[in-house]
Structure 1
Amino acid sequence: MSIWNIPIIKERDLVVNVNLTKKEKAIAFPARGSYNTSNFDRRQASAGKQRPQQGKPLCVEAFMKTEEKLNMTMLCDFYELTMSNGYFQAGFQDRITYFDVFFRDVPDKGGFAVCAGLEQLIDYIENLRFEEADIRYLRGRGLFSDEFLEFLRRFRFTGDIWAVPEGTPIFPGEPILTVRAPAIQAQLIETFVLLTLNHQSLIATKANRIVRAAQGRTVLEFGSRRAQGADAAIIGARAAYIGGCKGTACTLSDQLYGVPAGGTMAHSWVQMFDSQYEAFKTYCEIYPTNATLLVDTYNVLKSGVPDAIRAFNEVLRPRGITKCGIRLDSGDIAYLTREARKMLDDAGWRSCQISASNSLDEHLIQDMIRQGAEIDLFGVGERMITARSEPVFGGVYKLAAVEDGQGNIIPKIKVSENVGKITNPHFKKVYRIYDNATGKAEADYITVWDETVDETRPLELFDPQATWKRKTYTNFTARPLLCPVFQGGALVYDRPTLPEIQKYCLAQVDTLWDEVKRFENPHTYYVDLSQKLWDIKQSLLREKR
């Protein structure tokens, strides 16, 4: 069917199912001049239909992924736009606001999370703008004033953003990103800020758990085919690398971000040949310096490992090549790898590495290592790229303060019957307190923006809920966590390379006590408020309740 029949719109290889009301048709196809002529065919001509003029329907335009880049500015919850229009009508468009991003619970009941996603957020902020197609769509909704739409035509981000660097261990309740911007600017970016930080922090956190479970063994990200969409695969591989993975199977992540891509073979390679040995021999001849053979297509110990050894002996050994590997993707991997290791060693292939895959996660990896599995490399797929055990990172974006006409900062609070959902008000700083004797992170300390920490004097911290729990630090260093990223709409942050981010992440995780890094029942890492901030919060609670 064609655009004239409405239910299915075809644009090249794209098919979009739509069910439009009469009003929606008028919005999607506002004028004869907006149609795309590429779908006009002889059958329509013979039916007496007139060829449309150049252009394309807005509903097709919105889904054109094959040749046109989507405008990420429009990737926002619709209420961001209706609120922004409301702010404009109420005269709030220039009112300076402060929003914090924070999360409430660590995934998998862990002791900490890993922040990731700032790089993509920077790209988004730098490209914020509404195109004419966006303005036409919004006008067609009939909800937005002409003045507001004209405002959007000139829309650019002019605010300030502070954020923790990617790879930083983060904890519930503390700001990991703060936005200071006019109300409409701050409101419109909420959705993209959250989806970017939530997704990548989730995957980086899961990857770091898996990497730590591997105890120094190599971990590769293998999950593209099980990821929840193309973006999740591509960006997820980047986040997994930040968390500590050495590489990915996703070629596009390598091309775009430099995440080292690699791979071996599938069972189909082995099945394609008349014999398993012939498959292995051919692969070794084609890739002599990168020969990792999948040995579980038929029988691992009876034929898989013996055929691999034979191929190594006949192809690699005469060339003086000792680097090679085998991979197992099924069966009792702990047992099979132990037996395979013996066979390889007996054949003089102690240099042969053994890789394992098959729906692995941190718990299975820990268990296999406890069983004495002989594994040098883990390929981890679906349970990493989807964070299957807890696939949501609950980051939120909450108003913390506004400025009055004189530039005074007025703290704001969101109250809830659930104590954990009561927000911390005001424009804030976050410090990480390090013990100078051990180099370990002891606690995080949230203050009002104009407070400083005197490292020459004792610092007493207290639990914001159980205030009788107190601890005093003397020999310490207080390091600010939030770094300036945008100032006045201009990027001021020196973006590190991806390997630098990973190196930073692993070094920062090492500053945490082992008790905080436990998978089961980790030690609580305290995030405390300054006395001044705690007093402001209590005052607002009394006022609002």
Structure 2
Amino acid sequence: MKELRNLSLVMDFYELTMSQCYFNQNKDQEVVFDLFYRNNPDNGGLCLFCGLEQVIEYVKNLHFEKEDIDYLRSLHQFSEEFLDYLSTVRFTGDIYAIPEGTPVFPHEPLVRVKAPIIEAQLVETALLLALNHQTLIATKARRIVQASEGRAVMEFGARRAHNFDAAIYGARAAYIAGCAGSATTYAGKEYGLPVLGTMAHSFIQSFDSEYDAFLFYAKTYPDQCTLLIDTYSTLKSGIKNAIRVAKDYLEPNGYRLKGVRIDSGDMAYLSKQVRKELDANGMQDCGIVVSNSLDEYVIESLIHQQGAKIDSFGVGENLICSKNSPVFGGVYKLVAIEKDGEMIPKIKISDNVEKVTNPGLKKVYRIYEKDTGMAQADLMALEHEVLDDQKDLTIYHPMSRWKYKVIEGGTYELRELLVPIFLRGKIVYQCPSLDGIREYSKRELDTIWEEIKRFAYPQEYYVDLTKDLLDLKLKLLNDHK
């Protein structure tokens, strides 16, 4: 957002206490952290990466004000030398990231940070905060847009969001994922996305009659008139008064009723009855909008099981809070540390296999089938490895040499997913426009097989390792036995 806030203290306190220790030991030691996640929300097949632009703004602005240093001094846990260091600290390292709007999958690095150890540690919470939130909302919005099967989805969630920023950034993420626009006016001002909305029940209640309310609104917005028809009775009064206003005022003056909205009741039944009324009055071009606690499952049911006659959907709390699965489990893990001029791979081991990390400085490739253009798998490789798509490629399960697949040379294409964002502290990435990100995301989603995008029991998309990376991982596991 344009009003610049210094968010540098938006961090877990242990980032500062660890940094004091690093300062005392070796503050210039280089490290590599990977930011990734372990499971898709809603038991889905993929996520939609989002929030990179806010990460960039944070890192560019990373610094501590005098009042920040004074506050930290008052805690009596930090040395004056360390506080002096913090007063001048700026990010000087490298950040690579997957572009916003890309479909992504568990365990692959979404962001890679290579920097002096204190700088890499200080940005942890902010990176997770920005990316966890917007990736979660974009992922949920994508599912809802998919369920609508080409019908417009409007993000109506501001009043249910978790505070101001969640509403604004959530609207941004939802638009990237394919929503037609947002009811959050600030998001329209800030990001240029379409703002949408008509009236509330209170507007209609404020008039002596429903007809009077509709007529006044129609006279005020004759070329953008959508009427809320369920304040009293959708079928007995709402649709009848809407049609009456269309015939009494809009059509005689050269306008058409754009739409009617239903916000309660049996939406499948009501939409079918309303459609009959509209069509019988020559209003086939009048759309039907529904809202009220919708999500991808309700929308899918309305369309496929109940034959609802709905042209667009307004979705609020279930989208803006990702209500069914409200936490995105992004994590930030050390994978390498510099020693005597060499990057030493590091691994985190756990009794839970899914929590074992993939060590070392890595690249991530997406493998596309040449004949279809569809994504076949993602592949993690060590930074020094050179892959040739004219040669056979063997990709391995992340924990086992016996489970592998050989892809014939010349039948596939490789694209490296991580692109440079910061190099030696300087921004080298040009953020696309919001519409550019949205269009890119749609193109990338079209390369993912429908079996992976389905809601129930999606096909697993493979994120595999090269033999060199798998060998390194198994060696480190064995070394730590």
Give the TM-score category using the shorter length: over 0.9
The Cα offsets for residues 494-543 of structure 1, whole Å up to 9 and x where unpaired, read as 11000111111111111111110110000010000100001111111111
**C-alpha deviation, 1:461, in angstroms:** 1.6
Query: In 1, distance between residues paired with 2:162 and 2:229?
Result: 29
User: 1:238 pairs with 139, 147, 172, which one?
Assistant: 172
Query: In 2, distance between residues paired with 1:280 and 1:467?
Result: 69
Query: In 1, distance between residues paired with 2:240 and 2:17?
Result: 67
Q: Point out the more displaced range, 300-309 or 69-78.
A: 69-78
User: 1:519 pairs with 455, 475, 481, which one?
Assistant: 455
Matches within 5 A, 1:160-309: 160-309=94-243
Query: In 1, distance between residues paired with 2:45 and 2:12?
Result: 31
Query: In 2, distance between residues paired with 1:375 and 1:158?
Result: 53
User: 1:442 pairs with 351, 358, 376, which one?
Assistant: 376
In structure 1, what residue type is equivalent to 2:308? A
**Counterpart position of 1:110:** 44
Distance 1:466 1:425, change over 3 A: closer
Q: Point out the more displaced range, 315-324 or 273-282.
A: 315-324
Query: In 2, distance between residues paired with 1:466 and 1:521?
Result: 24
Query: In 1, distance between residues paired with 2:392 and 2:251?
Result: 65
User: 2:11 pairs with 63, 67, 76, which one?
Assistant: 76
Secondary structure at the aligned position of 2:8 is classed as helix
Tell me if the contact between 2:156 and 2:316 (Cα under 8 Å) persists in the aligned partners: yes
The Cα offsets for residues 468-507 of structure 1, whole Å up to 9 and x where unpaired, read as 3322222000100001000111111111000111111111
Secondary structure at the aligned position of 1:213 is classed as helix
Q: Point out the more displaced range, 368-377 or 254-263.
A: 254-263
**Counterpart position of 1:505:** 441
TM-score between the two structures when normalised by the length of structure 2: 0.98
**Counterpart position of 2:396:** 462
**Counterpart position of 2:29:** 95
**Counterpart position of 1:396:** 331
The Cα offsets for residues 391-445 of structure 1, whole Å up to 9 and x where unpaired, read as 0000000001011232x11100111111100000000000000001111101000
- Superposition CA RMSD, Å: 1.0
**C-alpha deviation, 1:463, in angstroms:** 1.6
The Cα offsets for residues 149-177 of structure 1, whole Å up to 9 and x where unpaired, read as 11011110011000000100000010000
**C-alpha deviation, 1:258, in angstroms:** 1.6
Q: Point out the more displaced range, 503-512 or 179-188.
A: 503-512
Matches within 5 A, 1:415-494: 415-474=349-408, 475-494=411-430
TM-score between the two structures when normalised by the length of structure 1: 0.86
In structure 1, what residue type is equivalent to 2:80? D
Secondary structure at the aligned position of 1:469 is classed as strand
Secondary structure at the aligned position of 1:74 is classed as coil
In structure 1, what residue type is equivalent to 2:255? I
Query: In 1, distance between residues paired with 2:11 and 2:453?
Result: 35
Query: In 2, distance between residues paired with 1:73 and 1:126?
Result: 11
The Cα offsets for residues 251-277 of structure 1, whole Å up to 9 and x where unpaired, read as 011111122111010001110111101
Secondary structure at the aligned position of 1:174 is classed as coil
Work out whether 1:136 is the aligned partner of 2:70. yes
Query: In 1, distance between residues paired with 2:114 and 2:257?
Result: 54
Query: In 2, distance between residues paired with 1:405 and 1:321?
Result: 76
Query: In 1, distance between residues paired with 2:152 and 2:438?
Result: 14
**Counterpart position of 1:59:** none
In structure 1, what residue type is equivalent to 2:312? L
Tell me if the contact between 2:396 and 2:470 (Cα under 8 Å) persists in the aligned partners: no
The Cα offsets for residues 319-349 of structure 1, whole Å up to 9 and x where unpaired, read as 3223510000000000000110110011011
**Counterpart position of 1:367:** 301
In structure 2, what residue type is equivalent to 1:496? P
The Cα offsets for residues 35-93 of structure 1, whole Å up to 9 and x where unpaired, read as xxxxxxxxxxxxxxxxxxxxxxxxxxxxxxxxx96420010000000100110011x21
Secondary structure at the aligned position of 2:20 is classed as helix
In structure 2, what residue type is equivalent to 1:480? E
**C-alpha deviation, 1:466, in angstroms:** 4.6
Query: In 2, distance between residues paired with 1:544 and 1:351?
Result: 68
Tell me if the contact between 2:30 and 2:114 (Cα under 8 Å) persists in the aligned partners: yes
**C-alpha deviation, 1:312, in angstroms:** 1.2
Identity value in percent = 53
Give 1 or 2 for the bigger CA radius of gyration.
1
